[in-house]
Structure 1
Amino acid sequence: MARARTRGIRAVWATTAVAAVAAGALAVMPQASAAATGGVTGYATQNGGTTGGAGGQTVRATTGTQIHAALCGRASSSTPITIQVEGTINHANTAKVSGTSCNTADGVIELKQISNVTIVGVGSGAVFDQLGIHIRESSNIIIQNVTVKNVKKSGSPTSNGGDAIGMESNVRNVWVDHTTLEASGGESEGYDGLFDMKDNTQYVTLSYSILRNSGRGGLIGSSETEVSNSYITYHHNRYENLDSRVPLLRGGTAHIYNNHYAGVNDSGINSRAGGKAKVDNNYFEDSKDVLGTFYTTTTGYWQVSGNIFDNVTWSPASSDYKPAGPNPQSNTSISIPYAYTLDNASCVPDVVSRTAGAGKGLQVSDGSCTPTTPSPDPTTPPTSPDPTTPPPSPDPTTPPSGTNLSIGAGSDGTSKADGTSYGNVRDGNVSTYWSPAGATGSISIKWGSPTAVAKLNIREATGATGRIGSWRVLNADTGAVLATGTGAGVITVPKTTLSKITFEITGSSATPRIAEYETYAG
């Protein structure tokens, strides 16, 4: 039966609220299926699999700067980490953070030249508002249970070339799952793609996600000669009120199954430049030209089975516009290397509506058209303390017992504001202080011979308390990260013998003022 729909990209449909959800276990399924466990599926299971930050530290972030600080606080660019995100991430709270284990930038979540990272929305939800996620020269990345909306390439503010999630330059093994990716218009309104891959991106899965209200769903390859991108799986996603590129496939192989297309306005799955798309058990409704080779004479290929076409219209073919319909037939054969279970196309609208998008409890289909919640239940909030909340510490004006080793030591730093001195943090006088030249910077205590340190006490100047945001403590002899956290006060680190210890401020609400940087053996 035909269903009434408002056509045109300017008919923006309402955004669903992000419901309460906590992070579940993120596991690898060597032989992926759409069933039960909620683990990684599709081509992201190949090439060694996709595990993200499994096995590493878990931290909490409520700003983009804290996400960057978590990446920069790792011992190396490949140290596994899971970053639990809650709240609204936007330009106002996303700044560049520097470090040897990261390569970040202002105004975008930058996952560049890194590996083994999971970013997962928890609690009341994670919304990246007008702020894109950029994955470049990276591998083994999981993005789960987040909303990314209204990212622009023109107008103000701009981010990530207008892509909600964009991947480029030798990216490998990415799983994007239970996300909501949306815009509020097309290219003329300043938006680009919702999910783009280019410049040799391979082994990617997009699952249980919503893509809506945009001119462009996403591409695989940026030109007819850029065909190095391949092995992409799309399953159990909802494509809603999109003009085209669902996806645009230039070369390479894509597996597209159990997706619900509701309102493709101009052209749909666009296989060209030799691309091969295996299109299984999808439900297409109230749409136009949902499969074919469009806007080019360099043709592509497809293998089709089990799809339902409900109120789909087809245009006449021309030299550069070749719809596969009105009766789509396979023109190639594609072998899929992983296990998967197909839902019947007739139930796809229902099961996708109940599972796809952020805030759905990470539910998946059991392969028989029934939503299933992974175990442990990801909608149950964790009972353990926030992993980034430091344990209760003494009054920061009361130092730990013992001798303050900073007295009589040396000090240096990355920069100092006019009228301040590095030596002010080790003079025992809380009336003097050091400030960096900007909002972030580092200050170090150093000794002429190796010294054992187990505790620090960072004391802010009177009238400037609460300015220090995120920080990390480094063994300056080796570069190892000893601790990360937020706010001033007593910090416990693994007892370490070293010649220099650095306190690096990676985020602040105003120019920090450190009156004393005390160090203790225990």
Structure 2
Amino acid sequence: MKRSARRALVALTTGAVGAAIVAALPLPQASAAAVGSATGYASSNGGTTGGNGGATVRATTGTQIHQALCSRASSSTPITIEVSGTINHGNTTKVSGNSCNTAADRIELKEISNVTIIGVGGGAVFDQLGIHLRDSSNIIIQNVTVRNVKKSGSPTSNGGDAIGMESTVRNVWVDHVTLEASGGESEGYDGLFDMKDNTQYVTLSYSILRNSGRGGLIGSSESDTSNGFVTFHHNHYQNIDSRTPLLRGGIAHIYNNYYYSLNESGINSRAGARAKVENNYFQNSKDVLGTFYTDAAGYWQTAGNILDNVTWSSTSGENKPAGPGMASTTTVSVPYSYRLDGASCTPEVVRSTAGANTGIRTSSGSCTPTNPSPTTPAPTTPSTPGPATPTPTPSQPSGTNLSLGGGADGSSKAGGTSYGNVKDGNLSTYWSPSGTTGSISIKWGTATTVGRINIREVSSAVTSYRVLNADTGAVLKTGSGAGVISFTPASLKKVTFEITGASSTPRVAEFETYAS
């Protein structure tokens, strides 16, 4: 990887490992299914209904998810699994049975069909643990977060893919999920959303993919062209180096996505692939469409896209950018109906609908988010509460929070916390230094103007601070407390909030940055 994406998200830990036998882990019954219905190519080939019509159970560990699959009458018996809490290596074991084929180091949906996995209650986080689909069909994954899945280092899971599909997979709808990493291949991560070895009829919708070297691929090599019929719509790609996605053969429909900070390349159509690319919004990015790193050309049909501060490389032997004109090189027809939002409103629509724990809102097709049917109830089983939500700070800044497109680092971090938690848009995750003082920074690949920050603590602890231009060491502001801090705008690549005094160990939920 030429340049790794810059950020860090992190691990939480949960309780003891569940028993690996069905009888030891009774699952509470629940009463819901996936919200809405599959769109795009997942609605073709007979449609994607997941576990609709089957039993619904609740799971708070990975072992319980496997147990639910193994408890079915057959591998095709419909089931909806409502998930809450944090799923990780510590609570995910292999479970055996005639209707399943599971593994300890991942959530394994192997040789099965007719399954829905949906996050409920306070949310479902698959932490350092990927979801693997193999030889399976009719699967829905909705309203979950999958983060920091590694292929090298420790722990490893699912070949480094957040969600990976391979070997004759059909009809998968992944909706309202958040997939994130903390870097690129050199940091141990691979793709966020990968499909290979004959995977077809897939839709990824209303999802966030961020902070990764690789967004995802269709086809593992130039000879793996049996994949295709994939729709990507209303997704938010943030701080991705490349592969948004990489297409090797097959057909993809890519519309109403919001791309922000694609660092090296974006949609990479290769080896005869054909992509219909329409009404997307590309911002602060490089080489957002073309054929890259190969002589095996791919093709595209474009319409209605907006390019906002997009730069283009020169054409060379293995790099053929589509810009600056992004003229069509093929035509693509799709077999389903769909509603297009205007490209100009796509960022606003996507920001208010995409990702886990956003209410599973969708777009009406007229630049207006809509609310779905009532969501599933909160879990009836006890769960460990997360940290308190920070008290809203008065006079919140307006404008774009620039931290969402940047990376993060710091002087130290306490166990169970991460630098990247201060820029994930989630007030229930946080960073703490290893003591009562320390520093946390937001950084970008290019100079960015910052004139105001907002330090959102879980509870008030910071008593004194300095804000630094980390490029030069200049002190931009000193003061007491935290919250909204204004200073003379500075153009910089890295801004640091240094905690010089605190009444207890600080917990910073968000380090927001604004131009003014």
User: TM-score, normalising length from structure 1?
Assistant: 0.68
Match of residue 321 from structure 1 = 319
Q: Does 1:294 align with 2:292?
A: yes
Amino acid in structure 1 at the alignment position of 2:159? G
Alignment of 1:167-182 (within 5 A): 167-182=165-180
Partner SS for 1:67? helix
Task: Using the TM superposition, give the Cα deviation of residue 8 of structure 1 relative to its aligned residue in structure 2, in angstroms.
Answer: 6.0
Q: One-letter code of the match for 1:215? A: G
1:381 matched to 2:381: no
SS, match of residue 324 in structure 2? coil
Structure 2 counterpart of 1:26: 34
The residue that corresponds to 2:265 in the other structure is 267
Residues 97-108 of structure 1: matches in 2 within 5 Å? 97-108=95-106
Map 1:163-242 → 2, pairs under 5 A: 163-242=161-240
Equivalent position to 2:113, from 94, 112, 115: 115
Aligned to 2:456: none
Match of 1:54 in 2: 52
Q: Deviations over 1:6-50 (max 9, x none)?
A: x964532779x9xxxx986437xxxxxxxxxx3210000001000
CA distance in 2, matches of 1:69, 1:298: 44
For the 8 Å contact 2:287–2:313, the answer to whether it is kept is yes
- Seen in structure 2, the aligned counterparts of structure 1 residues 131 and 23 have a Cα distance that, compared at 3 Å, is farther
| 1:103 shift after superposition | 0.2
Query: Hey, what's the Cα distance between the residues in 2 that align with 1:368 and 1:24?
Result: 29
Q: CA deviation at 1:381?
A: 2.5
Matched residue, 1:504: none
Aligned amino acid, residue 34 of structure 2: L
CA contact (8 A) 1:23 1:84 kept: no
In 2 relative to 1, CA 382–13 (structure 1 residues): closer, same or farther, beyond 3 Å?
Answer: closer
Determine if contact 1:73/1:101 at 8 Å carries over to the other structure. Answer: yes
Which of these two proteins has the greater Rg computed from alpha carbons? 1
Alpha-carbon distance change, 14 to 97 in structure 1, aligned in 2, over 3 angstroms: closer
- Other-structure match for 2:348: 350
Aligned AA for 2:173?
A: W
- Measure the CA separation in 2 of the matches of 1:344 and 1:8: 33
Structure 1 regions of 5+ residues with no counterpart?
A: 1-6, 28-37, 387-522
Cα gap change, 1:382 to 1:88, in 2 (>3 Å)? closer
What residue is the counterpart of 1:437 in the other structure? none
For the structure 1 residues 23 and 279, does the alpha-carbon distance in structure 2 shift closer, same or farther, using more than 3 Å as the test?
farther
TM-score of the superposition, structure 2-length normalised? 0.68
Check if 1:252 corresponds to 2:250: yes
Provide the rounded CA distance (Å) in 2 between the counterparts of 1:242 and 1:13. 13
Whether the 8 Å CA contact 1:23–1:122 is kept in 2: the answer is no
Matched, 1:332 2:327: no
Instruction: Give 3-state SS (helix, strand or coil) of 2:209's partner.
Output: strand
Unaligned runs of 5+ in 2: 13-29, 382-516
CA contact (8 A) 1:83 1:118 kept: yes
In 1: Cα distance, 2:32 partner to 2:227 partner = 30
Matched, 1:43 2:41: yes
2-structure distance, mates of 1:311, 1:14:
27
Contact 1:197–1:229 under 8 Å retained in 2: yes
2:63 alignment partner, SS class: helix
Query: Pick from 306, 313, 316: which aligns with 2:304?
Result: 306
Q: Identify the residue that residue 75 of structure 1 maps to in structure 2.
A: 73
Deviation digits for residues 174-211 of structure 1 (CA, Å, limit 9, x no counterpart): 00000000000000000000000000000000000000
How many pairs does the alignment contain?
363
Give distance in 2, aligned partners of 1:290 and 1:23. Answer: 43
Residue 217 of structure 1 aligns to a residue in which SS? strand
Aligned residues with identical type, % of pairs: 73
Corresponding residue SS for 1:339: coil
